[in-house]
Structure 1
Amino acid sequence: MFDALKSLIAELTGEAAQPRPFEAVDYQLAAAALLVHIASIDGDFDESERARIQQLVEARFGLAPDAARALIDDAFESEREAVDLYRFTSVLKRRLDEDGRKQVIGMLWDMAHADGSVHEFEENVVWRVAELLGVSTRERVELRREVRESLAQPLENPWYRPKE
């Protein structure tokens, strides 16, 4: 009860706890939150998409399955609380070099294809994230083509490579 009263007073005085801003080390969380966002944007978040997020996070960040699941759970929460994509892309733009930002776009395209078709909302999200990350239209389109081709040959899929 004391916590509820303290929270009410803080809210009334404008001192309510603000959401913690991302720090540079949170780029994995930011990337995972974008994957969650794109997987759920079409209103249908199925098991194939859930499995693909798990695979991408494990492989790209070199995480064990349990650590990847924990990161994905945190990403769901962060994505749910976010009001825009900038919260995630600003962290990625500061933390990653050009190649790293392109890899994020590749992961998003991979995620968009996870359920077998790319919805126009998913295309729009990839476009907006690419713009915010400074990935050119030409590179975004080329990454989409590369992902489509790699999905036809899953053993050669570059988006599953662990980060070096």
Structure 2
Amino acid sequence: MFERLVSFLKGLPPGAAGPRLEREDDPRVAAAALMFHVMNADGVRHDVEWERLNDVLSQSYGLSGDELETLIAAGEKADNEAIDLYAFTSVLKRHLDEEARIEFIRAMWEVVYADGVLHELEDNTLWRVAELIGVDRRERVLARQEAARNAPGAIGESTDE
């Protein structure tokens, strides 16, 4: 599952500014911001979630040191300053085809289940992101079930609509 997440993020094109990571329309920043948002949805940032996110961003973009810190800071700053999810989801919807959008939802579920627990706010966040980027309910639920099966000791699986 982790390899799929890395593969997905590697496929995201850089924004119009090339390697610069501060642009709001850079899909890498949008993806990082949404990952931060779902990671923090339950009000607790678990070390395992944070480590997974750092590893994914580092491996996906071949970044380390200051470059990795810049992407992480840009994603976190964008998430903290956002008033809604649309700014990020609209960027991803423009840059990703249907299969890549489904893969992104799978990747988000992997971050959610990194700590082995699904919180209702994380579930709700994934539902909203999936709706906004055009991933249907069936694909979202299948992705959640797959992530839950692959998370050792996963608890809190909710029933979907």
Sort the TM-score into its range (normalised by shorter chain). Answer: 0.7 to 0.9
| 8 Å Cα contact 2:29/2:71 also seen in 1 | yes
Unaligned runs of 5+ in 2: 1-21, 153-161
| 8 Å Cα contact 1:58/1:64 also seen in 2 | yes
The residue number in structure 2 matching 1:111 is 111
Unaligned runs of 5+ in 1: 1-19, 153-164
The residue number in structure 1 matching 2:14 is none
| 8 Å Cα contact 1:32/1:72 also seen in 2 | yes
Q: In structure 1, how many angstroms separate the alpha carbons of the residues matched to 2:142 and 2:87?
A: 26
- Relative to the length of structure 1, the TM-score reads 0.73
| 8 Å Cα contact 1:41/1:122 also seen in 2 | yes
- Name the larger-Rg structure: 1
The residue number in structure 1 matching 2:63 is 64
The residue number in structure 2 matching 1:89 is 89
Deviation at 1:21, TM superposition (A): 6.8
The residue number in structure 2 matching 1:131 is 131
Q: In structure 2, how many angstroms separate the alpha carbons of the residues matched to 1:115 and 1:150?
A: 12
Deviation at 1:143, TM superposition (A): 0.9
| 8 Å Cα contact 1:35/1:108 also seen in 2 | yes
> 2:36 corresponds to which letter in structure 1?
V
Deviation at 1:100, TM superposition (A): 1.2
Of Structure 1 and Structure 2, the greater helix share is in 1
SS in 1 for 2:84: coil
The residue number in structure 2 matching 1:22 is 24
Q: In structure 2, how many angstroms separate the alpha carbons of the residues matched to 1:99 and 1:105?
A: 10
CA RMSD in angstroms comes to 1.7
Q: In structure 2, how many angstroms separate the alpha carbons of the residues matched to 1:102 and 1:57?
A: 18
| 8 Å Cα contact 1:30/1:92 also seen in 2 | yes
Deviation at 1:122, TM superposition (A): 0.1
Q: In structure 1, how many angstroms separate the alpha carbons of the residues matched to 2:142 and 2:84?
A: 26
Q: Aligned residues: percent identity?
A: 40
Where does structure 1 differ by over 6 angstroms across 4 or more consecutive aligned residues?
none
Q: In structure 2, how many angstroms separate the alpha carbons of the residues matched to 1:113 and 1:151?
A: 6
Q: In structure 2, how many angstroms separate the alpha carbons of the residues matched to 1:43 and 1:55?
A: 21
> 2:136 corresponds to which letter in structure 1?
S
Deviation at 1:135, TM superposition (A): 0.3
Residues 51/21 of structure 1: CA separation in 2 closer, same or farther (3 Å cut): closer
The residue number in structure 2 matching 1:75 is 75
The residue number in structure 2 matching 1:9 is none
